[in-house]
Amino acid sequence: MQRDAAPLSLRLFASALCVLLPSMLLAGCGSTPNSRFYVLTPTAPAAIATGSPSMRVGLEPVMLPDAYNRPQMLMTVAPNQRILWEFDRWAGSLADNMTRVVGLDLEARLGPTSVYAQPGFHMPTLDYTVGVEILELEMSPDGQCTMTARFHIADKQRQWIASHQVDINPTNPSSHPSGPAGVATSMSAGLDTISQSIADALTRANASKATAVRQTK
């Protein structure tokens, strides 16, 4: 029988390496940072409006630039430069999260059962439909979030009756945390400002409609 020509020390080293290598790989994988997940929250005080709603409003899904509708936060580090923060992520679709928060903030102002997600099943007759577009969005590492949004309001006949633009530029960075947690807080507050503008426009439209109805009688 032919003997193995490799020295004993080399064969022992190779055997030890085969045993240690999997452990080394596992240790390397274990050093990967855990992802952190963030959600948006409604900031309008609950139940600002009570009683039966004066109108029923359908809310279309918020439209968001594709670059931002991703799990990772996309931070602005220069006017024309964005960086993905791989381990700071949104818990679910950012557009869906925005739609939910706008709806809750809006319903707090218009009253319970006044806002309905569109499309939906077994919907009541809607008085108005609202569409929201986020035209510009910037998230910065210091926790600031600036937005430019446009919303449209349509009546029962699906005719547009109002369209407004809202610019969100936070001016008090010390009022919330820095980093991704601050971005989530700042964005939630910005969506509440947008919801307030929508509620004001809906209230004006509803008042005008009521006046027109009285004048025809």
Give the tens place of pLDDT for each residue, 123-179. 778 999 999 999 999 999 999 999 999 999 999 998 999 999 999 997 665 666 889
Q: Quick count: other Cβ atoms within 10 Å of Cβ 103?
A: 20
The pTM of the full predicted model, rounded to 2 decimals, is: 0.80
* Residue 215 DSSP symbol: H
Domain containing residue 74: CATH number: 3.40.50.10610
Looking at the structure of the chain, the number of domains it has is 1
Q: What is the dihedral of CA 124, 125, 126, 127, to 10 degrees?
A: -140
Helices (H) and strands (E) in the chain, counts: 3, 8
Q: pLDDT tens for residues 76-110?
A: 999 889 999 999 999 999 999 999 999 999 999 99
Residue 24 resides in a domain: no
Is 23 domain-assigned? no
Range of the domain at 204: 36-216
Residue 195 near residue 102 (C-beta atoms within 8 A):
yes
Q: Is residue 95 assigned to a domain?
A: yes
Determine, yes or no, domain membership for 190.
yes
Q: Does the residue 29 lie in any domain?
A: no
